[in-house]
Amino acid sequence: MYQDEYRRWLDADLIDCDLKTELMRIEGDEEAIKERFAVSLQFGTAGLRGTLGAGTNRMNIWVVRQATQGVADWVKTQGGTQTVAISYDSRLKGWTFAKDAAGVLAANGIKVLIYDELMPVPALSFATRYYNCNAGIMVTASHNPAKYNGYKAYGPDGCQMTDDAAAVVYDAIQKTDILTGAKYMSFAEGVEKGLIRFVGEDCKEALYEAIEARQVRPGLAKTSGLKLVYSPLNGTGLVPVTRILKDLGITDVTIVPEQEYPNGYFTTAPYPNPEIFEALKMGLELAEKTGADLMLATDPDADRVGIAMKCPDGSYELVSGNEMGVLLLDYICAGRIEKGTMPKNPVAVKSIVSTPLADKVAEHYGVELRNVLTGFKWIGDQIAQLEAAGETDRFIFGFEESYGYLAGPYVRDKDAVIGSMLICEMAAYYRSIGSSIKQRLEEIYAEYGRYLNTVDSFEFPGLSGMDKMAGIMAGLRENAPAEIGGRKVVSVTDYAKPEETGLPKANVLIYGLENGCTVVVRPSGTEPKIKTYFTTLGKNKEEAMAEKEHLAAALAPLFA
């Protein structure tokens, strides 16, 4: 079966000479053909993501066209403006895939608004809402290595597509022949016919205005003398982040030269993820050289931001996504109360795998903290519910432990641009009162307890990876552990049972232990990985870390 499909591709006129070369190179290589053609890339709520190359199980123009035909079929049933917004980041083939998606939509009579330069996830979410589009498409593989690209689909609310919409799109994709099924016209023809237009300057400016309107202490950063090192990690953050910092009055910004401009090969950070040390290494070296107060890095599609803060001894310490989420929640609450801008009955939102320390901070400030499933669309869904009730102003902040933050309802996905703005404003504020981010974090721990949040990942590569993961999760459900590392399990929350959790069904298990620690087990939605999230407590970081290591060692055999 897959050999037949391989032959069909080999005999077809594939336009892209890279694909033809690859197909000819693997001729006679059973394993290579099987890996590329035995399955298709699965379209889900996170869209598509895969290795670039030839075949149904790779990212290429044919997979993109087929997926876009599915999106087009769904859009045509939706009424409305019959318009789709498109953006793309610095990844290899990004502009090609964006243009091809536009060509398919135009051939289906659907209008397209596409950015004339690479722009991040929040800009796509914003344009989708600004132009009242039916959908949005973001060509990105987020923080994956260079050999990947992907395709995220958004609904009219600027949130990633709902499960129901994604299921309809998936069904339409199944009925579309990958090589011949998608309607298509060239980008030039689409422009000529007035079906494809570029996103206007008015939309770009409106995004910057919306972000800057969320300053907590406007004008404060101008006089702070904050010294900053910034890396866009060769992605889309450069233009929007530096624009916002300039508007804020932060002028002492040194950009990591090797990571300044878009480069889909990510040669200086093979894994361009601001969560990991290797990606920030060059920025940290530059921060030490320049004596910066703060080192900041955004991922290629600029929806996540990571930082390193300067410590009193002059060294730099990475701040985890959980710590930054707590710091920003604390800063926004205290600042808005001080300025008299806190709404009545304020709401903050976080994912179930993010730190329970945020619940304590929210409680302290009288803020309702809502816990939702992993995936920023669930935070967007909470904003939508407030919007439907005419109470959008109540939303003050949302975050995920994976370095995603949002303050304000102007977009419905995580936004590294506003994250960068608020982190810099917060650093400037603490500097202005003779304190620092590091000092404030220690004060928070002293007040609420020394929480440590860590994540381990177990990879399951190859075609059988997903089956192994499913088997492990089934095993945990059938034989729930009574203890982990000698610590008694006192509660098990299974998010596959919505009747018990009150949330939509999800493949997540949370174990509460007798000593107050928690362990969360969930398969990744986009990669063949099972992730384990540990929240441990201790008198100090060392004690909390020792407890984490103990629990992780006890769990490891389950994932062998």
Residues that are catalytic? 142
d(CA 348, CA 408): 10
**What is each CA distance from 358 to 338, 349, 353, in whole angstroms?**
20, 10, 11
First to last CA, the chain: 32
Task: Please say whether the beta carbons of 408 and 78 come within 8 A.
Answer: no
Which three-class secondary structure state does DSSP give residue 306?
Answer: strand
- What number of other Cβ atoms are within 10 A of residue 212's Cβ? 15
| Token pair for 325 | 């989420």
d(CA 30, CA 274): 38
d(CA 47, CA 71): 10
Q: Please report which helix (H) or strand (E) contains residue 370, including its range.
A: strand 368-372
Task: Please say whether the beta carbons of 113 and 141 come within 8 A.
Answer: no
Instruction: Print burial letters for 362-389: b (CB count within 10 Å at least 16), e (below 16).
Output: beebebebbbbbbbbbbbbbbbbebeee
Which three-class secondary structure state does DSSP give residue 528?
Answer: coil
Burial class (CB in 10 A: 0-12, 13-18, 19+), 491: exposed
Per DSSP, 160 falls in state B
- Residue where the block lists tokens 């381990």: 456
**What is each CA distance from 160 to 124, 391, 412, 414, in whole angstroms?**
11, 22, 8, 11
Burial class (CB in 10 A: 0-12, 13-18, 19+), 38: middle
d(CA 373, CA 531): 14
The residues pairing with 44 across neighbouring beta strands, listed in sequence order, are 47
Angle, CA 140 vertex, CA 520 and CA 267 arms, to 5°: 95
| Token pair for 340 | 């008299």
**What is each CA distance from 157 to 181, 186, 529, 552, in whole angstroms?**
29, 28, 29, 39
d(CA 230, CA 274): 11
Q: Please report which helix (H) or strand (E) contains residue 432, including its range.
A: helix 416-432
Alpha helices per DSSP H over 351-505:
357-365, 376-388, 416-432, 437-448, 465-478, 498-501
> How many helical (H) and strand (E) elements, i.e. helices and strands, does the chain have?
19, 21
- What number of other Cβ atoms are within 10 A of residue 141's Cβ? 28
Task: Please say whether the beta carbons of 311 and 438 come within 8 A.
Answer: yes
d(CA 54, CA 6): 9
- Residue where the block lists tokens 């300057």: 201
Task: Please say whether the beta carbons of 484 and 534 come within 8 A.
Answer: no
